[in-house]
Structure 1
Protein backbone atom coordinates (compact mmCIF):
# COMPACT_ATOMS: atom_id res chain seq x y z
CA UNK A 1 0.00 0.00 0.00
CA UNK A 2 1.18 3.56 -0.68
CA UNK A 3 2.28 5.47 2.39
CA UNK A 4 -0.14 8.35 1.73
CA UNK A 5 -3.12 5.99 1.46
CA UNK A 6 -2.04 4.17 4.63
CA UNK A 7 -1.80 7.37 6.67
CA UNK A 8 -5.09 8.69 5.29
CA UNK A 9 -6.80 5.40 6.16
CA UNK A 10 -5.33 5.57 9.67
CA UNK A 11 -6.90 9.05 9.89
CA UNK A 12 -3.67 10.96 10.28
CA UNK A 13 -5.20 13.43 7.82
CA UNK A 14 -6.58 13.80 4.33
CA UNK A 15 -4.39 12.82 1.37
CA UNK A 16 -3.50 16.49 0.92
CA UNK A 17 -2.56 16.88 4.59
CA UNK A 18 -0.49 13.68 4.48
CA UNK A 19 1.40 14.99 1.45
CA UNK A 20 2.26 18.13 3.42
CA UNK A 21 3.58 16.03 6.32
CA UNK A 22 5.77 14.08 3.92
CA UNK A 23 7.10 17.33 2.43
CA UNK A 24 8.01 18.51 5.94
CA UNK A 25 10.05 15.34 6.43
CA UNK A 26 8.20 14.19 9.55
CA UNK A 27 7.05 10.83 8.12
CA UNK A 28 9.38 7.84 8.44
CA UNK A 29 9.26 4.13 7.64
CA UNK A 30 11.55 1.87 9.66
CA UNK A 31 13.47 4.95 10.79
CA UNK A 32 14.08 6.34 7.31
CA UNK A 33 12.46 9.61 6.23
CA UNK A 34 9.87 9.20 3.49
CA UNK A 35 10.64 11.24 0.36
CA UNK A 36 7.56 10.51 -1.74
CA UNK A 37 3.87 9.78 -1.07
CA UNK A 38 4.15 6.92 -3.58
CA UNK A 39 6.47 4.90 -1.32
CA UNK A 40 5.09 1.40 -0.74
CA UNK A 41 4.85 -0.21 2.70
CA UNK A 42 3.68 -3.54 4.09
CA UNK A 43 2.14 -4.66 7.38
CA UNK A 44 5.56 -5.37 8.93
CA UNK A 45 6.90 -1.84 8.44
CA UNK A 46 7.04 0.61 11.35
CA UNK A 47 5.51 3.94 10.32
CA UNK A 48 6.00 7.09 12.39
CA UNK A 49 4.82 10.70 12.14
CA UNK A 50 6.77 13.21 14.22
CA UNK A 51 8.32 10.24 15.99
CA UNK A 52 4.96 8.74 17.00
CA UNK A 53 4.20 5.27 15.69
CA UNK A 54 1.06 4.98 13.56
CA UNK A 55 -0.01 1.40 14.17
CA UNK A 56 -2.28 -0.39 11.76
CA UNK A 57 -5.92 -0.49 12.80
CA UNK A 58 -8.13 -2.84 10.84
CA UNK A 59 -11.52 -1.42 11.80
CA UNK A 60 -12.61 2.19 12.10
CA UNK A 61 -15.86 3.63 13.41
CA UNK A 62 -17.11 7.13 12.60
CA UNK A 63 -20.07 8.90 14.16
CA UNK A 64 -21.51 11.34 11.62
CA UNK A 65 -24.06 14.08 12.16
CA UNK A 66 -25.79 13.52 8.82
CA UNK A 67 -27.00 16.67 7.06
CA UNK A 68 -30.19 16.93 5.06
CA UNK A 69 -30.00 16.16 1.33
CA UNK A 70 -27.23 13.53 1.54
CA UNK A 71 -27.80 9.88 0.68
CA UNK A 72 -27.01 7.06 3.13
CA UNK A 73 -25.15 5.18 0.43
CA UNK A 74 -21.59 4.39 -0.59
CA UNK A 75 -21.85 5.94 -4.05
CA UNK A 76 -24.29 7.60 -6.41
CA UNK A 77 -23.77 9.00 -9.90
CA UNK A 78 -25.67 12.22 -9.38
CA UNK A 79 -26.11 12.84 -5.64
CA UNK A 80 -23.81 13.39 -2.68
CA UNK A 81 -23.40 10.47 -0.28
CA UNK A 82 -22.40 10.20 3.37
CA UNK A 83 -19.14 8.47 2.37
CA UNK A 84 -18.09 11.58 0.47
CA UNK A 85 -18.14 13.49 3.77
CA UNK A 86 -15.25 11.39 5.14
CA UNK A 87 -11.63 12.43 4.58
CA UNK A 88 -10.76 8.75 4.23
CA UNK A 89 -12.14 7.10 1.11
CA UNK A 90 -11.60 3.52 2.30
CA UNK A 91 -14.37 0.92 2.13
CA UNK A 92 -16.85 2.16 4.75
CA UNK A 93 -20.56 1.41 4.98
CA UNK A 94 -23.35 3.22 6.80
CA UNK A 95 -24.90 1.16 9.59
CA UNK A 96 -28.52 1.27 8.51
CA UNK A 97 -29.91 4.14 6.51
CA UNK A 98 -31.39 7.55 7.15
CA UNK A 99 -33.69 8.99 4.50
CA UNK A 100 -32.23 11.73 2.32
CA UNK A 101 -34.15 14.41 4.23
CA UNK A 102 -33.50 12.89 7.69
CA UNK A 103 -30.64 14.26 9.77
CA UNK A 104 -28.65 13.16 12.80
CA UNK A 105 -26.67 10.21 14.07
CA UNK A 106 -25.29 7.79 11.51
CA UNK A 107 -22.53 5.27 12.18
CA UNK A 108 -20.04 4.49 9.39
CA UNK A 109 -17.65 1.55 9.65
CA UNK A 110 -15.73 -1.13 7.80
CA UNK A 111 -16.62 -3.63 10.55
CA UNK A 112 -19.20 -5.85 8.89
CA UNK A 113 -19.85 -7.85 12.06
CA UNK A 114 -20.81 -4.75 14.04
CA UNK A 115 -23.04 -3.69 11.17
CA UNK A 116 -24.84 -7.05 11.38
CA UNK A 117 -25.09 -6.96 15.19
CA UNK A 118 -26.74 -3.54 15.26
CA UNK A 119 -29.14 -4.22 12.38
CA UNK A 120 -30.18 -7.81 13.09
CA UNK A 121 -33.96 -7.90 13.74
CA UNK A 122 -33.54 -9.95 16.91
CA UNK A 123 -31.18 -7.41 18.50
CA UNK A 124 -33.91 -4.77 19.09
CA UNK A 125 -31.43 -1.90 19.25
CA UNK A 126 -33.27 1.22 20.47
CA UNK A 127 -33.17 4.30 18.24
CA UNK A 128 -34.37 7.69 19.44
CA UNK A 129 -35.54 10.43 17.07
CA UNK A 130 -36.84 13.96 17.47
CA UNK A 131 -39.37 15.23 14.97
CA UNK A 132 -41.49 18.17 13.90
CA UNK A 133 -45.04 17.10 13.13
CA UNK A 134 -47.99 18.61 11.31
CA UNK A 135 -50.84 17.69 13.65
CA UNK A 136 -51.22 17.75 17.43
CA UNK A 137 -49.83 14.57 18.96
CA UNK A 138 -51.35 13.73 22.35
CA UNK A 139 -51.57 10.95 24.92
CA UNK A 140 -53.91 8.97 22.68
CA UNK A 141 -51.26 9.04 19.98
CA UNK A 142 -48.71 7.81 22.51
CA UNK A 143 -51.01 4.96 23.58
CA UNK A 144 -51.58 3.93 19.95
CA UNK A 145 -47.83 3.76 19.32
CA UNK A 146 -47.17 1.95 22.63
CA UNK A 147 -49.68 -0.77 21.79
CA UNK A 148 -47.84 -1.82 18.61
CA UNK A 149 -49.42 -0.67 15.37
CA UNK A 150 -50.48 -2.51 12.25
CA UNK A 151 -50.16 -0.24 9.22
CA UNK A 152 -52.64 -0.13 6.38
CA UNK A 153 -50.56 -2.49 4.24
CA UNK A 154 -50.51 -5.08 7.01
CA UNK A 155 -47.03 -4.24 8.34
CA UNK A 156 -46.91 -5.04 12.06
CA UNK A 157 -44.77 -2.81 14.25
CA UNK A 158 -43.28 -3.34 17.68
CA UNK A 159 -44.37 -0.97 20.49
CA UNK A 160 -42.81 2.50 20.32
CA UNK A 161 -42.37 5.12 23.04
CA UNK A 162 -43.66 8.59 22.21
CA UNK A 163 -42.78 11.65 24.28
CA UNK A 164 -44.55 14.91 23.47
CA UNK A 165 -42.16 17.85 23.79
CA UNK A 166 -44.40 20.64 22.54
CA UNK A 167 -47.94 21.11 21.27
CA UNK A 168 -49.06 24.12 19.22
CA UNK A 169 -52.80 23.73 18.74
CA UNK A 170 -53.15 27.13 17.08
CA UNK A 171 -50.74 26.18 14.28
CA UNK A 172 -51.61 22.45 14.39
CA UNK A 173 -48.02 21.30 14.99
CA UNK A 174 -46.08 19.24 17.51
CA UNK A 175 -42.51 18.51 18.54
CA UNK A 176 -41.96 14.96 19.70
CA UNK A 177 -39.36 12.39 20.67
CA UNK A 178 -39.92 8.78 19.66
CA UNK A 179 -38.05 5.58 20.46
CA UNK A 180 -38.33 2.56 18.17
CA UNK A 181 -36.52 -0.78 18.22
CA UNK A 182 -36.71 -1.63 14.52
CA UNK A 183 -36.08 0.20 11.29
CA UNK A 184 -38.70 -0.54 8.68
CA UNK A 185 -38.92 1.53 5.51
CA UNK A 186 -40.00 5.12 6.33
CA UNK A 187 -41.32 3.71 9.60
CA UNK A 188 -41.80 6.87 11.65
CA UNK A 189 -43.30 8.80 8.74
CA UNK A 190 -45.71 5.93 8.07
CA UNK A 191 -46.65 5.69 11.75
CA UNK A 192 -47.67 9.32 11.95
CA UNK A 193 -49.32 9.10 8.56
CA UNK A 194 -51.49 6.28 9.94
CA UNK A 195 -52.85 8.62 12.62
CA UNK A 196 -53.46 11.52 10.23
CA UNK A 197 -50.25 13.47 10.86
CA UNK A 198 -47.18 14.30 8.79
CA UNK A 199 -43.50 14.38 9.73
CA UNK A 200 -41.90 17.58 8.45
CA UNK A 201 -38.45 17.16 10.04
CA UNK A 202 -36.76 14.09 11.52
CA UNK A 203 -33.48 13.89 13.41
CA UNK A 204 -31.90 10.76 14.96
CA UNK A 205 -30.41 11.44 18.39
CA UNK A 206 -29.21 8.05 19.57
CA UNK A 207 -28.72 4.42 18.61
CA UNK A 208 -28.27 1.95 21.45
CA UNK A 209 -25.68 3.40 23.82
CA UNK A 210 -24.40 5.78 21.17
CA UNK A 211 -25.56 9.41 21.44
CA UNK A 212 -25.09 12.35 19.09
CA UNK A 213 -22.68 14.84 20.71
CA UNK A 214 -24.30 18.25 21.26
CA UNK A 215 -21.29 20.05 19.78
CA UNK A 216 -21.00 17.94 16.62
CA UNK A 217 -22.07 20.12 13.70
CA UNK A 218 -24.08 18.91 10.71
CA UNK A 219 -21.88 17.22 8.14
CA UNK A 220 -19.07 16.66 10.65
CA UNK A 221 -17.94 13.41 12.22
CA UNK A 222 -15.74 12.02 14.98
CA UNK A 223 -13.90 8.72 15.15
CA UNK A 224 -14.98 6.58 18.06
CA UNK A 225 -12.47 5.29 20.59
CA UNK A 226 -12.13 1.55 21.22
CA UNK A 227 -13.88 2.02 24.59
CA UNK A 228 -16.83 3.69 22.85
CA UNK A 229 -16.99 0.85 20.33
CA UNK A 230 -16.99 -1.71 23.15
CA UNK A 231 -19.87 0.21 24.72
CA UNK A 232 -21.85 -0.10 21.47
CA UNK A 233 -21.23 -3.85 21.30
Structure 2
Protein backbone atom coordinates (compact mmCIF):
# COMPACT_ATOMS: atom_id res chain seq x y z
CA UNK A 1 0.00 0.00 0.00
CA UNK A 2 1.50 3.36 -0.97
CA UNK A 3 1.35 6.71 0.79
CA UNK A 4 -1.60 7.86 -1.31
CA UNK A 5 -3.67 5.19 0.44
CA UNK A 6 -2.57 6.26 3.92
CA UNK A 7 -3.09 9.28 6.17
CA UNK A 8 -0.59 11.40 8.05
CA UNK A 9 -0.77 10.48 11.74
CA UNK A 10 -1.59 13.95 13.03
CA UNK A 11 -4.36 14.31 10.45
CA UNK A 12 -5.74 10.87 11.36
CA UNK A 13 -5.88 11.79 15.06
CA UNK A 14 -7.56 15.11 14.28
CA UNK A 15 -10.10 13.39 12.01
CA UNK A 16 -11.39 11.39 14.99
CA UNK A 17 -12.48 14.65 16.57
CA UNK A 18 -10.42 14.49 19.77
CA UNK A 19 -8.27 17.52 18.99
CA UNK A 20 -6.83 19.78 16.30
CA UNK A 21 -3.84 18.77 14.17
CA UNK A 22 -1.52 21.00 16.15
CA UNK A 23 -2.64 19.42 19.41
CA UNK A 24 -2.22 15.99 17.79
CA UNK A 25 1.40 16.86 16.97
CA UNK A 26 2.00 17.66 20.64
CA UNK A 27 0.58 14.26 21.63
CA UNK A 28 2.91 12.54 19.17
CA UNK A 29 5.99 14.48 20.33
CA UNK A 30 5.10 13.70 23.95
CA UNK A 31 5.22 9.98 23.16
CA UNK A 32 1.55 9.43 23.95
CA UNK A 33 0.62 7.92 20.58
CA UNK A 34 1.26 4.40 19.26
CA UNK A 35 0.52 2.64 15.96
CA UNK A 36 0.02 -1.12 16.36
CA UNK A 37 1.68 -0.89 19.77
CA UNK A 38 4.83 0.82 18.49
CA UNK A 39 6.01 4.35 19.41
CA UNK A 40 5.39 7.05 16.81
CA UNK A 41 6.96 10.25 15.59
CA UNK A 42 5.89 13.21 13.47
CA UNK A 43 5.49 12.19 9.84
CA UNK A 44 4.32 8.63 10.51
CA UNK A 45 1.42 7.49 8.35
CA UNK A 46 -1.63 5.41 9.19
CA UNK A 47 -2.70 2.62 6.84
CA UNK A 48 -5.99 0.74 6.68
CA UNK A 49 -6.20 -1.76 9.53
CA UNK A 50 -3.69 0.08 11.74
CA UNK A 51 -4.64 0.52 15.39
CA UNK A 52 -3.82 3.96 16.71
CA UNK A 53 -3.87 4.53 20.45
CA UNK A 54 -3.51 7.67 22.56
CA UNK A 55 -2.43 7.03 26.14
CA UNK A 56 -3.08 3.35 25.53
CA UNK A 57 -6.69 3.86 24.44
CA UNK A 58 -7.71 3.11 20.83
CA UNK A 59 -9.20 6.02 18.93
CA UNK A 60 -12.89 5.69 18.25
CA UNK A 61 -14.71 6.51 15.04
CA UNK A 62 -15.25 10.19 14.43
CA UNK A 63 -18.43 11.46 16.08
CA UNK A 64 -20.93 13.69 14.31
CA UNK A 65 -19.24 16.85 13.11
CA UNK A 66 -20.31 19.83 15.22
CA UNK A 67 -19.96 23.52 14.44
CA UNK A 68 -21.27 26.05 16.95
CA UNK A 69 -21.26 29.83 17.31
CA UNK A 70 -20.81 31.19 20.82
CA UNK A 71 -21.25 34.75 22.07
CA UNK A 72 -18.28 34.63 24.43
CA UNK A 73 -18.58 36.69 27.60
CA UNK A 74 -15.74 38.77 29.02
CA UNK A 75 -13.63 36.65 31.37
CA UNK A 76 -13.88 33.35 29.49
CA UNK A 77 -10.52 32.07 28.25
CA UNK A 78 -10.21 30.53 24.78
CA UNK A 79 -8.29 27.42 25.78
CA UNK A 80 -8.94 23.71 26.20
CA UNK A 81 -6.57 23.57 29.18
CA UNK A 82 -8.54 21.91 31.96
CA UNK A 83 -6.40 23.71 34.55
CA UNK A 84 -8.00 26.99 33.48
CA UNK A 85 -11.14 27.30 35.59
CA UNK A 86 -12.87 29.60 33.10
CA UNK A 87 -11.88 27.79 29.91
CA UNK A 88 -14.25 28.05 26.99
CA UNK A 89 -14.89 24.31 26.68
CA UNK A 90 -16.08 24.03 30.28
CA UNK A 91 -18.22 27.12 29.80
CA UNK A 92 -20.03 25.72 26.76
CA UNK A 93 -20.45 22.29 28.37
CA UNK A 94 -21.17 20.52 25.07
CA UNK A 95 -21.42 16.70 25.22
CA UNK A 96 -18.94 16.44 22.33
CA UNK A 97 -15.30 17.40 22.84
CA UNK A 98 -14.99 20.75 21.05
CA UNK A 99 -12.16 23.24 20.63
CA UNK A 100 -12.28 26.91 19.61
CA UNK A 101 -11.34 28.13 16.15
CA UNK A 102 -8.91 30.91 16.96
CA UNK A 103 -9.36 32.98 20.05
CA UNK A 104 -10.76 36.11 21.65
CA UNK A 105 -8.80 37.70 24.46
CA UNK A 106 -10.11 37.19 27.99
CA UNK A 107 -11.27 40.84 28.28
CA UNK A 108 -12.98 40.67 24.86
CA UNK A 109 -16.43 39.34 24.00
CA UNK A 110 -18.42 38.27 21.01
CA UNK A 111 -18.54 35.68 18.26
CA UNK A 112 -16.28 32.64 18.23
CA UNK A 113 -16.68 29.24 16.58
CA UNK A 114 -16.10 25.89 18.28
CA UNK A 115 -15.91 22.56 16.50
CA UNK A 116 -14.61 18.99 16.59
CA UNK A 117 -13.46 19.28 12.95
CA UNK A 118 -9.69 19.77 12.95
CA UNK A 119 -9.45 20.27 9.19
CA UNK A 120 -11.66 23.34 9.05
CA UNK A 121 -9.70 24.95 11.89
CA UNK A 122 -6.58 25.02 9.73
CA UNK A 123 -8.39 26.32 6.66
CA UNK A 124 -10.03 29.21 8.50
CA UNK A 125 -7.03 30.25 10.57
CA UNK A 126 -4.25 30.30 7.98
CA UNK A 127 -2.91 33.85 7.79
CA UNK A 128 -2.90 33.89 4.00
CA UNK A 129 -6.59 33.11 3.57
CA UNK A 130 -7.96 36.63 4.19
CA UNK A 131 -11.21 35.68 5.91
CA UNK A 132 -13.03 38.71 7.34
CA UNK A 133 -13.66 39.28 11.04
CA UNK A 134 -15.67 42.30 12.17
CA UNK A 135 -15.41 44.07 15.53
CA UNK A 136 -17.07 46.94 17.38
CA UNK A 137 -14.51 48.74 19.52
CA UNK A 138 -14.87 51.40 22.20
CA UNK A 139 -11.86 53.42 23.36
CA UNK A 140 -11.21 55.66 26.34
CA UNK A 141 -11.30 59.02 24.55
CA UNK A 142 -12.71 60.72 21.49
CA UNK A 143 -11.60 59.55 18.09
CA UNK A 144 -11.37 61.64 14.95
CA UNK A 145 -10.97 61.26 11.20
CA UNK A 146 -7.18 61.08 11.52
CA UNK A 147 -7.50 58.15 13.93
CA UNK A 148 -9.83 56.30 11.53
CA UNK A 149 -7.53 56.91 8.58
CA UNK A 150 -4.40 55.78 10.40
CA UNK A 151 -6.08 52.63 11.73
CA UNK A 152 -7.26 51.76 8.24
CA UNK A 153 -3.93 52.36 6.52
CA UNK A 154 -1.86 50.12 8.78
CA UNK A 155 -0.15 50.42 12.15
CA UNK A 156 3.40 49.25 13.01
CA UNK A 157 3.13 46.56 15.69
CA UNK A 158 4.96 43.32 16.48
CA UNK A 159 7.72 44.02 13.97
CA UNK A 160 5.39 44.47 11.01
CA UNK A 161 2.73 46.83 9.68
CA UNK A 162 -0.88 45.69 9.88
CA UNK A 163 -2.69 45.09 6.62
CA UNK A 164 -4.96 47.82 5.36
CA UNK A 165 -8.49 47.37 6.65
CA UNK A 166 -11.91 49.01 6.67
CA UNK A 167 -12.58 51.24 9.67
CA UNK A 168 -15.82 53.18 10.23
CA UNK A 169 -16.58 55.62 13.04
CA UNK A 170 -19.83 54.87 14.91
CA UNK A 171 -19.81 57.64 17.54
CA UNK A 172 -17.36 59.84 19.44
CA UNK A 173 -15.37 56.95 20.91
CA UNK A 174 -16.62 53.82 19.09
CA UNK A 175 -15.67 52.40 15.71
CA UNK A 176 -16.18 49.30 13.55
CA UNK A 177 -13.15 47.54 12.10
CA UNK A 178 -12.97 44.61 9.65
CA UNK A 179 -9.74 42.61 9.76
CA UNK A 180 -8.40 39.87 7.51
CA UNK A 181 -5.51 38.97 9.77
CA UNK A 182 -5.22 37.99 13.40
CA UNK A 183 -2.06 39.20 15.09
CA UNK A 184 -1.85 38.80 18.85
CA UNK A 185 -4.02 41.44 20.57
CA UNK A 186 -3.99 43.26 17.24
CA UNK A 187 -6.73 45.84 17.74
CA UNK A 188 -5.62 46.67 21.27
CA UNK A 189 -2.01 47.11 20.12
CA UNK A 190 -3.08 49.27 17.15
CA UNK A 191 -5.06 51.56 19.45
CA UNK A 192 -2.24 51.70 22.01
CA UNK A 193 0.17 52.81 19.29
CA UNK A 194 -2.09 55.80 18.63
CA UNK A 195 -2.41 56.61 22.33
CA UNK A 196 -5.81 55.03 22.97
CA UNK A 197 -6.93 52.31 25.35
CA UNK A 198 -9.63 49.82 24.38
CA UNK A 199 -12.40 49.73 26.98
CA UNK A 200 -14.68 47.32 25.13
CA UNK A 201 -14.06 44.98 22.20
CA UNK A 202 -16.79 42.85 20.68
CA UNK A 203 -16.50 40.59 17.63
CA UNK A 204 -19.75 40.70 15.68
CA UNK A 205 -18.95 38.67 12.55
CA UNK A 206 -16.68 35.91 11.27
CA UNK A 207 -16.78 35.47 7.50
CA UNK A 208 -20.48 35.03 6.60
CA UNK A 209 -21.74 34.42 10.14
CA UNK A 210 -22.97 37.38 12.18
CA UNK A 211 -23.56 37.48 15.93
CA UNK A 212 -27.09 38.75 15.35
CA UNK A 213 -29.42 38.37 18.32
CA UNK A 214 -27.38 35.67 20.06
CA UNK A 215 -27.20 36.72 23.70
CA UNK A 216 -23.98 36.89 25.70
CA UNK A 217 -23.13 33.41 26.96
CA UNK A 218 -25.49 31.64 24.55
CA UNK A 219 -24.47 29.40 21.66
CA UNK A 220 -26.14 27.81 18.65
CA UNK A 221 -25.24 25.31 15.96
CA UNK A 222 -24.33 26.80 12.61
CA UNK A 223 -26.99 26.17 9.99
CA UNK A 224 -26.39 24.01 6.93
CA UNK A 225 -26.66 27.16 4.81
CA UNK A 226 -23.96 28.89 6.87
CA UNK A 227 -21.71 25.84 6.65
CA UNK A 228 -22.22 25.54 2.89
CA UNK A 229 -21.03 29.14 2.53
CA UNK A 230 -18.07 28.64 4.89
CA UNK A 231 -16.99 25.54 2.97
CA UNK A 232 -17.25 27.50 -0.25
CA UNK A 233 -15.11 30.29 1.20
CA UNK A 234 -12.40 27.91 2.43
CA UNK A 235 -12.40 25.41 -0.46
CA UNK A 236 -9.37 27.10 -2.03
CA UNK A 237 -7.72 27.89 1.32
CA UNK A 238 -4.02 27.23 1.49
CA UNK A 239 -3.79 24.35 3.94
CA UNK A 240 -0.03 24.32 4.54
CA UNK A 241 2.12 26.48 6.77
CA UNK A 242 3.22 28.44 3.69
CA UNK A 243 0.26 30.80 4.03
CA UNK A 244 1.26 31.72 7.54
CA UNK A 245 4.94 31.98 6.66
CA UNK A 246 4.29 34.30 3.76
CA UNK A 247 2.45 36.71 6.06
CA UNK A 248 4.62 36.21 9.13
CA UNK A 249 5.84 39.42 10.83
CA UNK A 250 9.31 37.85 10.95
CA UNK A 251 9.39 37.13 7.24
CA UNK A 252 10.64 40.27 5.51
CA UNK A 253 10.39 38.74 2.07
CA UNK A 254 6.76 38.20 1.19
CA UNK A 255 7.49 37.36 -2.42
CA UNK A 256 7.48 33.72 -3.52
CA UNK A 257 10.97 32.22 -3.68
CA UNK A 258 10.34 30.22 -6.82
CA UNK A 259 8.40 30.51 -10.01
CA UNK A 260 6.64 27.30 -9.12
CA UNK A 261 5.02 28.86 -6.05
CA UNK A 262 1.92 29.95 -7.93
CA UNK A 263 1.37 26.58 -9.51
CA UNK A 264 1.78 24.86 -6.16
CA UNK A 265 -0.26 27.17 -3.99
CA UNK A 266 -2.03 29.84 -6.06
CA UNK A 267 -4.15 27.20 -7.76
CA UNK A 268 -4.56 24.85 -4.86
CA UNK A 269 -6.77 21.88 -5.58
CA UNK A 270 -10.21 22.25 -4.11
CA UNK A 271 -10.58 20.83 -0.63
CA UNK A 272 -13.17 18.37 0.44
* TM-score for both structures, normalised by structure 1: 0.69
RMSD over equivalenced CA pairs, Å = 2.0
Q: Structure 2: any 5+ residue segments left out of the alignment?
A: 1-16, 18-59, 232-272
1:136 maps to 142
Q: Is the 8 A contact 1:142 1:161 kept in 2?
A: no
2:151 maps to 145
CA positional deviation for 1:85: 2.4
Give the alignment of 1:78-93 within 5 angstroms.
Answer: 78-93=84-99
1:160 aligns with 2:159: no
Aligned partner of residue 177 in structure 1, secondary structure: strand
2:189 maps to 190
CA positional deviation for 1:70: 0.6
Higher helix proportion (structure 1 or 2): 2
1:51 maps to none
Q: Structure 1: any 5+ residue segments left out of the alignment?
A: 1-8, 10-41, 44-55, 168-173
CA positional deviation for 1:113: 1.4
Give the alignment of 1:1-233 within 5 angstroms.
Answer: 58-151=64-157, 153-167=158-172, 174-214=173-213, 216-233=214-231
**Which of structures 1 and 2 has the bigger CA Rg?**
1
Aligned partner of residue 161 in structure 2, secondary structure: coil
Q: Distance in 2 between matches of 1:154 and 1:78?
A: 30
Q: Distance in 2 between matches of 1:161 and 1:135?
A: 21
Aligned pair in 2 of structure 1 residues 57, 76: CA closer, same or farther (>3 Å)?
closer
CA positional deviation for 1:132: 1.2
CA positional deviation for 1:77: 1.6
* TM-score for both structures, normalised by structure 2: 0.60
Q: Distance in 1 between matches of 2:155 and 2:73?
A: 30
Q: Distance in 2 between matches of 1:155 and 1:141?
A: 19
Aligned partner of residue 106 in structure 1, secondary structure: strand
Aligned partner of residue 189 in structure 1, secondary structure: helix
